Amino acid sequence: MAGLFDKQAEDYLVARPTYPKEWYSMLAALTPKHSLAWDVGTGNGQAAFSLGEHYEQVIGSDISESQLKSALQHPRVRYVHTPVTMSDDELVDLIGGENSVDLVTVAEAVHWFDLPKFYSLVKSILCKPSYMIAVWGYNDIVTHPEIEGVLKRFYEASKPFWDPKREYLWEGYRTLPFPFESVGLGSEGQPVALEILKEVSFEGVLRMLRSSSAVNTAKDQGVDLLSQEVIEEIQRAWGRPNVVRNVTFKAFTLAGKV
């Protein structure tokens, strides 16, 4: 996933949904200690920021320096750049060493990872025996049927430019390997369904689409997925540019312990 979200860091920060505060309270209630949380693939830092309300220290890591430059600041959160050239031992030492972390989170990113390598790191770095990893994502929105139809056509046109790893996301993490013991928030093959509610403007929808990795991959190949014609079609379905609509993001989560 290296570089996939570098060009659209600002759009990603503004347009993507904010995860409900209740999620973090729920996760914190399931970890016996609250000393250190690690948010992996932190991006704009929204998950790390919210974890800062429950854990004494939070480390948000990402391979994208441009995303980290836009990350939300919190006194308990420290952001670290973890380039792909960093070794596993260096990464473990940077986070805090083996058996040091109470909670690992990955928001809308685990499908990009080298999963066997990442899960091995998680099992090494989590405190034993009852500390936890939680991953979540979203893959669809529910709003006015006409708008959903237009967006569906956009996503169909963008599919040739998706990374194959995104298939896990489209399938709602039902096929995502997740070799951890269930804590009551889903298990391998059976993620828990969640919803994220957000008020969105027409400009917000465009920024959300522009933040897609497929849009930027296509642009690099000379294809404009968000041409003026497509934008006008979305606007006709949306209504007046100043209209703000309620949108529900269909989300899902898996949580477990070593």
What pLDDT digit, counting tens, does each position of 134-186 carry? Answer: 999 998 888 888 888 998 999 889 888 888 888 898 899 999 999 999 999 99
Average pLDDT in the chain: 89
Work out the burial of residue 55: count CB atoms within 10 Å of its CB; fewer than 13 is exposed, 13-18 middle, 19 or more buried: buried
Share of the chain above pLDDT 90, in %: 61
Where do the domains of the chain lie, and which CATH numbers do they carry?
A: 9-257 (3.40.50.150)
Cis ω before 129 (30° cut-off from 0): yes
What digits encode the pLDDT tens for the residues 36-50? 999 999 998 999 999
CB 197, CB 251: distance < 8 Å: no
Determine the angle formed by the axes of helices 88-95 and 115-125, rounding to 10 degrees: 40
- The amino acid that residue 166 corresponds to is R
Query: Is 197's pLDDT higher than 80?
Result: yes
Confidence of residue 11 (pLDDT cuts 50, 70, 90): very low
Q: Residues 6 or more apart from 196 whose CB is under 8 A from it?
A: 17, 18, 19, 20, 138, 248, 249, 251
**Element spanning 182, H or E:** strand 181-182
Confidence of residue 9 (pLDDT cuts 50, 70, 90): very low
Beta bridge partners of 126: 101
Q: Do strands 192-201 and 181-182 pair parallel, antiparallel, or not at all (unpaired)? A: unpaired
Query: Is 10's pLDDT higher than 60?
Result: no
CB 105, CB 47: distance < 8 Å: yes
